[in-house]
């Protein structure tokens, strides 16, 4: 059985744990300080890691406080499967901007070769749901967006799995770069486990 660690410092981690268990994995909350003796600070015991939604600035700061940032970076850069949803996507990205496009210096893992714009949908449509066609996952996935980011640019090695219209252009909201998977939306808040199952396949 696959063992998945769900970062549980802040945000929607319980929903990910429930969904992963429904999809047949063993999921546990990850919040312990790293074990300096163990490979990857002890994160090697997981077959994959999930970074939940929440507030990316808060989670980033807590990662530094709990000394989890470096072990997570090592995981991300060494090919351990990681799935980030919403704030988790932001934490994975190399470049981060605010809604105004100004660069942010907030802490991040930075392994995903992409630039993300936080809170990209503005106040009018702060939160919304839509049905998405996600390459390799499903052509009718119900996606919940909550103060969601979008990818504004990405290197060629980043595969775009789904896009939505934002500000007159198509913006990626689900991407994959080798063993990194990231979505702007929250599949853990629906009853549909297909995106989590796709991630578990990546962990096999
Ligand atoms: N707006 C949040 C951020 O910038 C992300 C929102 C979410 O995870 N639902 O971190």
Q: What is the pLDDT of residues 45-98, one digit of tens each?
A: 999 999 999 999 999 999 999 999 999 999 999 999 999 999 999 999 999 999
Q: Is 55 in the pocket of ligand 1 (CB under 6 A)?
A: yes
Is residue 16 among the annotated active site residues? no
CA 1 to centroid of ligand 1, rounded, Å:
31
Residue 166 has pLDDT above 70, yes or no: yes
**pLDDT at position 104:** 98
Residues 6+ apart with CB under 8 A from 164: 130, 132, 150, 170, 171, 173
Cα 190 to Cα 120: distance, rounded to the nearest angstrom: 22
Q: DSSP of 72-138, one letter per residue?
A: HHHHHHHT--EEEETHHHHHHEEEEE-TTS-B--------EEEEEETTTTTTTTSEEEEEEEETTTE
**Is 70 exceeded by the pLDDT of residue 132?**
yes
Q: What angle do CA 18, 24, 29 make, to 5 degrees?
A: 40
4-18, 115-129, 139-153, 183-197: least confident range: 115-129
Is 74 close to ligand 1, i.e. is its CB under 6 Å away? no
What are the residues whose beta carbons fall under 8 Å from the beta carbon of 168, sequence distance 6 or more? none
Residue 8 has pLDDT above 90, yes or no: yes
Environment class of residue 140 by beta-carbon count within 10 Å: exposed (0-12), middle (13-18) or buried (19+)? exposed
Is the pLDDT at 34 greater than 90? The verdict is: no
Four-residue CA torsion sign, 165, 101, 111, 21: negative
What's the rounded mean pLDDT across residues 166-185?
94
- Look up residue 1 and give its two tokens: 């059985």
Pocket probe for ligand 1: among 11, 55, 151, the residue whose CB has the most ligand atoms within 8 Å is 55
Examine the residue annotation and report whether 201 is marked as an active-site residue of this protein.
Answer: no
For residue 124, pLDDT beyond 70: no
How far apart are the C-alpha atoms of 182 and 192, rounded to whole Å? 17
What is the average pLDDT across 109-113?
Answer: 98
Which SS3 state, helix, strand or coil, does residue 143 take?
strand
């Amino acid at each position: 059985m696959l063992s998945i660690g769900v970062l549980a410092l802040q945000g929607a981690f319980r929903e990910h744990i429930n969904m992963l268990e429904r999809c047949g994995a063993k999921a546990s909350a990850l919040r312990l300080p790293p074990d300096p003796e163990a490979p990857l600070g002890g994160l090697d015991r997981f077959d994959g890691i999930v970074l939940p939604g929440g507030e990316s600035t808060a989670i980033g700061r807590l990662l530094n406080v709990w000394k989890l940032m470096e072990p997570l970076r090592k995981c991300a850069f060494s090919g351990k499967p990681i799935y980030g949803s919403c704030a988790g996507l932001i934490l994975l990205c190399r470049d981060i901007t605010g809604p105004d496009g100004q660069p942010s210096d907030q802490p991040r893992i930075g392994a995903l070769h992409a630039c993300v714009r936080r809170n990209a949908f503005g106040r009018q449509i702060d939160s919304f749901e839509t049905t998405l066609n996600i390459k390799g996952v499903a052509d009718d996935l119900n996606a919940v967006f909550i103060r969601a980011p979008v990818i504004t640019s990405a290197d060629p090695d980043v595969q775009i799995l789904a896009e939505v219209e934002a500000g007159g252009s198509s913006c990626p909201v689900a991407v994959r770069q080798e063993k990194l998977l990231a979505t702007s939306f929250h599949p853990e808040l629906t009853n549909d486990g297909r995106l989590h199952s796709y991630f578990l396949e990546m962990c096999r």
